[in-house]
């Protein structure tokens, strides 16, 4: 289970009359967040029967919960009703949990026929989803510690920031503070290119890199499940607000210099400078290795962007397609013929600070 589950101090319960429940009423449970704001109130108000008084309870570990039955998991017209399990709360109402939550409960608690679930449970929320948490589960201690910090409402302020220190967010992520620098962002800009035959102005949309001023930079190294490479992720903030809840470490991390070097190679820290782009000719040996891959892209001697493919009905023959649809004719032949006529190149792109941004090869 995630360790950033929110456990509120107060829950609020609304009801509908339902004949298929023990108590003849089904509950919709919502909660007050750490700032005292009632979450999900709009959907809760539209769902509940206002003729039935709503109730509030302290969200404390409670025993006596009983599993009732599965509901949903059917298709009506174009709608699919997800499967849920109804649970009886000893405060005399029933509510629904997901199948995933049920499986987690059964991994960490016993369900005894006629007696219900053994042990104490508490309500939590993973985003918008209600979760019933066994207090004997191995995750509960960490979740409780996280919520203790959340409920203190003692957020990290700008004056508290230390270079290279590690801070934890409300979503239980750890980020390293790198400093306050100019932030460059790509924005779309309309450029007037003339008038049409009716005299109306014509525009082209172009992307332009704009300096947004000083921002606070936080980074972390992250490895995606589909990749073996570690990527640099960034959070760039004008102000901190209530994003960071605690300090993990005030010591500057050992690899701060390495991380800063990676940060300097991003377009948010320094914009791409097209005047620094560098076109480099492939050697014939490099070209042979690249062309044997499908959809190989390169630039020709006129810096036009091309895609080169095999001619499958002619052994050893290749042809090119212009990616930008310039009308420059066709070229087809052997690797040697293509190489000699195109003079293929790859491009290195640099940032305004001189750092290599991207290598197209």
Q: Could you report the per-residue pLDDT of 107-139, keeping only the tens digit for each?
A: 999 998 877 999 999 999 998 999 999 999 999
Residues 207, 330, single domain; the answer is no
The reply to whether 146 and 15 lie within a common domain is: yes
Which residue intervals of 23-118 are DSSP H helices?
41-47, 99-108
Token pair, residue 42, equals 């709009």
- pLDDT reading at 1 higher than 80: no
Query: Rounded distance, CA 212 to CA 214, Å?
Result: 7
Residue 74 has pLDDT above 50, yes or no: no
Tell me the DSSP string of 91-111: TTEEEEEEHHHHHHHHHHS-E
326: confidence class by pLDDT, cuts 50, 70, 90: low
Alpha-carbon distance 55 to 58, whole Å? 10
Give the structural domain span for 26.
Answer: 10-151
Asked if residue 201 belongs to a domain, the reply is yes
- Given 196, 228, 263, the domain boundary residue is 263
Please check whether residues 247 and 282 belong to one and the same domain: no
Instruction: Provide, rounded to the nearest whole percent, the portion of the chain with pLDDT above 90.
Output: 62
Q: What is the mean pLDDT of residues 268-291?
A: 92
Are 349 and 249 in the same domain? no
If residue 145 lies in a helix (H) or strand (E), which one and from where to where? Answer: helix 140-151
State whether 147 and 165 are in the same domain: no
Distance between CA atoms of 108 and 172, rounded to whole angstroms? Answer: 23
- Mean of all residue pLDDT scores within the chain: 88
Residue 264 has pLDDT above 90, yes or no: yes
Establish if 4 belongs to a structural domain.
no
Question: Is residue 210 in a domain?
Answer: yes
Question: How far is residue 334 from each of residues 288, 299, 314, measured CA to CA in Å?
Answer: 11, 18, 10
**Residue 95 and residue 179 in one domain:** no
Q: Is the pLDDT assigned to residue 262 strictly greater than 70?
A: yes
Token output for 124: 């939590």
Does one domain contain both 144 and 209?
A: no
Q: Where are the alpha helices (DSSP H) in 163-304?
A: 256-263, 284-291
Residue 47, CB-side half-sphere exposure with 13 Å CA sphere: 16
Same-domain status, 78 and 104: yes
Separation CA 169–CA 166 (nearest Å):
10
Task: Answer with the one of 241, 263, 285 that is the final residue of a domain.
Answer: 263
Q: What is the pLDDT of residue 238?
A: 96
Quick one: 22 and 137 in the same domain?
yes
Number of domains in the chain: 3
Q: Looking at residue 78, what DSSP letter applies?
A: T
Give dist(CA 96, CA 101) in Å, integer. 10
Per-residue pLDDT, 329: 53
What pLDDT was estimated at residue 310?
A: 75
**In contact, 263 and 178? CB cutoff 8 Å:** yes
Do residues 254 and 282 share a domain? no
pLDDT > 70 in the chain, percent: 92
> Does the residue 1 lie in any domain?
no
Query: Looking at the domain assignment, is residue 316 inside a domain?
Result: yes
231 belongs to a structural domain: yes
**Final residue in a domain of this structure, among 151, 166, 185:** 151
pLDDT band at 327 (very low <50, low <70, confident <90, very high): very low
Is residue 319 situated within a structural domain? yes
Task: Read off φ and ψ for residue 180, nearest 5 degrees.
Answer: -115, 120
Do residue 259 and residue 285 come from a single domain?
no
pLDDT tops 70 at residue 325: no
- Given a cut of 70, whether residue 76 has pLDDT beyond it is no
Residues 139 and 169 in one domain: no
In a domain, 350, yes or no: yes
């Amino acid at each position: 289970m995630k360790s950033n589950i929110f456990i509120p101090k107060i829950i609020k319960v609304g009801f509908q009359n339902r004949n298929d429940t023990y108590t003849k009423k089904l509950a919709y449970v919502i909660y007050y967040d750490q700032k005292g704001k009632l979450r999900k109130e709009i959907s809760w108000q539209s769902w509940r029967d206002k003729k039935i008084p709503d109730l509030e309870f302290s969200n404390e570990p409670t025993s006596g919960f009983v599993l009732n039955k599965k509901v949903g998991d059917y298709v009506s017209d174009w709608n699919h009703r997800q499967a849920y399990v109804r649970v009886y709360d000893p405060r005399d109402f029933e509510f629904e949990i997901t199948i995933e939550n049920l499986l987690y409960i059964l991994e960490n608690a016993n369900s005894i026929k006629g007696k219900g679930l053994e042990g104490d449970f508490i309500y939590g929320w993973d985003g918008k989803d209600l979760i019933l948490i066994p207090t004997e589960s191995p995750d509960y201690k960490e979740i409780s510690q996280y919520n203790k910090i959340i409920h203190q409402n003692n957020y990290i302020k700008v004056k508290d920031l230390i270079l290279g220190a590690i801070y934890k967010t409300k979503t239980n992520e750890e980020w390293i503070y790198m400093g306050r620098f100019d932030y460059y962002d790509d924005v779309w800009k309309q450029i007037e290119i003339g008038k049409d035959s009716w005299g109306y102005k014509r525009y082209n949309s172009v992307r332009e890199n704009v300096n947004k001023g000083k921002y606070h930079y936080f980074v972390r190294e992250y490895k995606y499940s589909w990749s073996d490479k570690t990527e640099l992720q960034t959070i760039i903030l004008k102000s901190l607000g209530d994003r960071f809840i605690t300090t993990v470490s005030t010591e500057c991390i050992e690899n701060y210099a390495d991380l800063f070097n990676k940060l300097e190679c991003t377009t948010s820290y320094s914009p791409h400078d097209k005047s620094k782009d560098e076109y480099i000719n492939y050697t014939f040996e490099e070209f042979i290795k690249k062309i044997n891959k499908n959809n190989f892209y390169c630039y020709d001697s006129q810096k036009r962007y091309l895609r080169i493919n095999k001619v499958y009905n002619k052994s050893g023959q290749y042809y090119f397609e212009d990616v930008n649809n310039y009308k420059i004719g066709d070229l087809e032949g052997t690797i040697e013929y293509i190489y000699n006529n195109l003079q293929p190149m790859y491009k290195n792109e640099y940032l305004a600070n001189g750092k290599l941004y991207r290598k197209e090869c």
